[in-house]
A = this chain, B = another copy of it.
């Protein structure tokens, strides 16, 4: 059976449901785009995207995130370089850097003459990173609802201190990822990529590890079919691709020292 859900799972593993909504259809059609036209965003689009981002839930309404808008070609070029040479960062008209931001909360507490030692924990860094991610995902959906495309840039964590210096970050703030926003270049619109069957990701009441094996094997097939259809250069199975990504410290593009780096940047000093 083919449904709105099929491209996301391949024909064999789409859920049987037909219940959907315009918002769900929009999310199902998400593609990460790595090639942009130079055209600027429509007037007011950035403000609308940020309003959607701020509308996401935030832990205890603390709003421990911020975003830097990068439009300066030289700064985008440096970001592209720090991310290991990702040309789409230079191409997109708006590059957003999402921050875990405990600096505002520390300043707010200091301004009231109150203590803020809780900020010096991994928990508060995690609160801030999750706040940033929830906001960013709303931004992503908002952008796509306006006909724009996006791609997350995790590689902004390759050299977090260099990025911090580039955009003037104070202690207790760090870029957790970037987000390119713009109009997809012709031929760069991409295709909906299949994900793991729901039975691998969705657990009823208790976590099941071994039971995922069959779904993972089918997913290798679905990804092989996708790569062939897309004429992708890779023929590596998803399982092997994924394992290589975490083979060892050297496969993490410098991010294996993130704990020390974030400590130097003012996070979790109490731990």
Interface residues of A (CB under 8 A from B): 5, 8-9, 15-24, 26-30, 32, 42-45, 47-52, 54-63, 65-72, 75, 99, 103-105, 107-109, 111-112, 114-119, 121-124, 126-127, 129-130, 133-134, 136-138, 140-142, 144-146, 150-152, 154, 157, 167-170, 173, 176-177, 192-193, 195-196, 198, 200-207, 209-210, 212-213, 216, 238-249, 251-252, 255-256, 258-260, 262, 268, 270-271
Find chain B residues with CB under 8 A from A258 CB.
121-123, 126
Q: A130-B177, A244-B114 are in contact. Are A193 and B61 (CB under 8 A)?
A: yes
Find chain B residues with CB under 8 A from A216 CB.
104, 108
Cα(A268)–Cα(B268), bound, Å: 15
Min C-beta distance of A205 to chain B, whole Å:
6
Cα(A39)–Cα(B136), bound, Å: 31
Cα(A256)–Cα(B167), bound, Å: 30
Find chain B residues with CB under 8 A from A28 CB.
51-52, 55
Cα(A270)–Cα(B248), bound, Å: 10
Q: Is the CB of A59 within 8 A of B19?
A: no
Q: Which of B61, B173, B203, B247 contacts A238 (CB 8 A)?
A: B61
Q: Which of B21, B42, B68, B107 contacts A145 (CB 8 A)?
A: B21
